[in-house]
Amino acid sequence: MAHAVFDGDLYWAPVDGLDGRVDSQVQLRLYGRVIGLMKHVTTWLIHYKWGRRPVAEAVARYREAIAELEACCRRYCRAVIGRNGIRPWRA
């Protein structure tokens, strides 16, 4: 359910795309972050009794809000990167 609510492939695929482009330990840490997010969300969903409801109901309830939060985070990160003169890494 957590994977469906957060569209987990949107987190997993970019890390997969780093194969051979970054140090393997960095890639493993990123996988760990994705796994940690999914574990945290799973625990939250179980705690709030979402495990007894249809997956589609949880997706309908949270997907839009999660997308808005993700967009906000992307804008914030871009602003911080630009303000600090940090150049994005390119292969």
DSSP string of 47-63, one letter each residue: HTTGGGS-HHHHHHHHH
Q: What is the pLDDT of residues 35-77, one digit of tens each?
A: 999 999 999 999 999 999 999 999 999 999 999 999 998 888 8
Q: What is the rounded CA–CA span in Å between residue 53 and residue 69?
A: 24
What's the domain range around 56? Answer: 2-63
Is residue 83's pLDDT more than 90?
A: no
Is 54 a member of any domain? yes
Is 27 a member of any domain? yes
Confidence of residue 27 (pLDDT cuts 50, 70, 90): very high
Domains in the chain, number:
1
**Amino acid identity for residue 70 in this structure:** E
Is 73 a member of any domain? no
Cβ(13)–Cβ(27) under 8 Å?
Answer: no
Q: What is the pLDDT of residues 6-18, one digit of tens each?
A: 999 999 999 999 9
Is 34 a member of any domain? yes
Is 40 a member of any domain? yes
Is 46 a member of any domain? yes
Cβ(60)–Cβ(52) under 8 Å?
Answer: no
Q: What is the rounded CA–CA span in Å between residue 41 and residue 85?
A: 34
